[in-house]
C-alpha cells in the first residue's frame, strides 16, 4: 500500500504560520516536549474533523517521519531517501528530493526516516546508507553530503538530526550487525565533522573495563532516536541502544558501557559529561532510545532540572540533568 500524509481540519481556521503554529524541530523544541500550543481543535469540535488534503508519497515503504512546519511550509521525509516541501495549507508540493539507496544494505527495520532539522534556509536529514545531507529549504537543492560510516559494514541512519549552535547532531543505527555506535556533529555550513562520541567504550576509556577483550569493537549502542539540548548547561542528551549481540551476552561479559544509557555531551566538544546506564549488560533489547524530555520539577520542595524518559525496561525515570544523578523510577507496566 502506498503511504499518504493526511491533514485533518474542522470548521475553524488552523494557523500554520507564526511562532505558536510552527513545529520547527523533531521534538517541537530542544527540550523534546512534543506539545503544540494550538487550541483550534479541541474536545468540543474534534467530531467535526474532515480531511483538508491528502498527499500520496508514491512509496511502499514505512513512514515514521515527524513533519516540521515553519512559516506555512511543511517539510517531511519518507522511506528510501525521499523528502518533500509542501504548502501546509493546501498540500501542494513545492519541491521533492530523491536519491536511490544502494543495494546490499543491512537493515533491521526497513528504509525508514524520522525527519528533518532546520537552520536558517537549510534543511538537514540523514540518508539510509549513513550520510548526512543538507538541502536548500526553498528549492530542495543539495548543498552538501557527508559520509557518516560504511553501510557495507552494517551501518545505517534513520534518526532526525538535532540542530544545535550551527551544528547538525546525528546518530547512527546498525547494532544488530556488529557495528560500534556513536553520536556526532557536523558544521551546518560546510558539512565538516566537528566531533564524534562513541557509545561503546574503547581501551582508552574508563568504561573499557565493562567489556571483555575486543568485544567493544562490535558492541552496538546505536543512537536511532533524536536527542535533546539544554542551552543553559550547553549539554546534549542522547539515549543509546542495546549492546551487540543483543540477546546473547556470553561473548560480552560486563556492564557494557555506554549502551542502554543516557549520555550527556558537551555541545562544543562532544566530550562525555555524565552517563546513567538504565540496563547494565542488557540481553532483552531494552534500548534506552526513547525521547529524553527536559523539564524543571519540584522534588522534595526543591526545584530540580530534570530529564525524564519512559525506558523500554518498563520504568519511567527522572534524572538530574545537570549531573546524571538518579531521582526516581516508577514502573509504567508490569515488570517481572
User: Annotated catalytic sites, by residue?
Assistant: 285
User: Using CA atoms, how far apart are residues 296 and 300, in angstroms rounded to an integer?
Assistant: 13
Is the backbone peptide bond immediately before 258 cis, with ω within 30 degrees of 0?
yes
Buried b (16+ CB within 10 A) or exposed e, 228-239: bbbeebebbbbb
**Which residues are CB-contacts of 86 (< 8 A; sequence separation ≥ 6)?**
55, 73, 74, 75, 76, 92, 93, 94
CA distances (Å), 39 to each of 13, 31, 52, 102, 211, in order? 11, 21, 18, 44, 51
Cis, bond preceding 320 (omega within 30 deg of 0): no
Q: How far apart are CA 103 and CA 49, in angstroms?
A: 42
Residue 233 three-state SS:
coil
Question: Counting Cβ atoms within 10 Å, is residue 162 exposed (0-12), middle (13-18) or buried (19+)?
Answer: buried
The four Cα atoms 80, 246, 317, 211 give a dihedral, to 10 degrees, of -120
Q: Are 223 and 240 in contact (CB under 8 A)?
A: yes
Positive or negative CA dihedral for 53, 62, 115, 58? Answer: negative
**In contact, 236 and 199? CB cutoff 8 Å:** no
Amino acid at each position: 500500500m502506498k503511504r499518504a500524509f493526511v491533514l485533518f481540519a474542522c470548521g475553524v481556521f488552523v494557523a500554520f504560520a507564526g511562532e505558536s503554529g510552527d513545529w520547527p524541530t523533531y521534538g517541537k523544541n530542544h527540550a523534546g516536549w512534543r506539545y503544540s500550543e494550538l487550541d483550534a481543535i479541541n474536545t468540543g469540535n474534534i467530531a467535526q474533523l474532515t480531511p483538508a488534503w491528502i498527499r500520496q508519497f508514491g512509496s511502499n515503504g514505512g513512514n515514521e517521519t515527524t513533519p516540521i512546519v515553519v512559516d506555512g511550509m511543511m517539510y517531511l521525509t519518507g522511506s528510501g531517501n525521499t523528502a518533500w516541501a509542501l504548502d501546509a495549507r493546501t498540500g501542494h508540493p513545492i519541491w521533492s528530493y530523491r536519491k536511490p539507496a544502494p543495494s546490499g544494505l543491512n537493515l533491521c527495520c526497513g528504509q525508514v526516516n524520522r525527519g528533518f532539522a532546520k537552520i536558517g534556509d537549510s534543511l538537514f536529514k540523514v540518508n539510509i546508507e549513513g550520510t548526512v545531507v543538507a538541502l536548500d529549504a526553498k528549492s530542495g537543492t543539495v548543498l552538501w553530503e557527508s559520509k557518516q560510516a560504511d553501510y557495507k559494514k552494517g551501518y545505517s541512519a534513520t534518526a532526525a538530526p538535532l540542530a544545535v549552535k550551527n551544528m547538525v547532531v546525528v546518530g547512527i543505527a546498525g547494532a544488530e550487525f556488529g557495528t560500534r555506535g556513536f553520536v556526532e556533529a557536523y558544521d551546518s555550513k560546510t558539512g565538516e565533522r566537528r566531533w564524534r562520541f562513541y557509545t561503546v567504550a574503547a581501551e582508552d576509556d574508563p568504561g573499557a573495563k565493562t567489556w571483555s577483550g575486543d568485544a567493544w569493537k562490535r558492541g552496538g549502542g546505536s543512537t536511532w532516536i533524536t536527542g535533546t539540548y539544554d542551552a543553559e548547561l550547553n549539554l546534549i542528551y542522547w539515549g543509546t541502544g542495546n549492546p551487540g549481540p543483543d540477546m546473547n551476552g556470553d561473548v560480552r561479559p560486563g556492564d557494557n558501557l555506554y549502551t542502554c544509557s543516557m549520555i550527556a555531551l558537551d555541545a562544543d566538544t562532544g566530550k562525555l559529561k555524565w552517563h546513567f546506564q538504565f540496563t547494565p549488560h542488557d540481553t532483552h533489547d531494552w534500548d534506552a532510545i526513547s525521547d529524553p524530555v527536559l523539564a524543571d520539577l519540584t522534588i522534595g520542595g526543591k526545584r530540580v532540572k530534570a530529564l525524564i524518559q519512559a525506558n523500554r525496561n518498563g520504568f519511567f525515570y527522572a534524572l538530574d540533568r545537570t549531573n546524571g544523578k538518579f531521582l526516581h523510577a516508577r514502573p509504567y507496566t508490569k515488570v517481572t
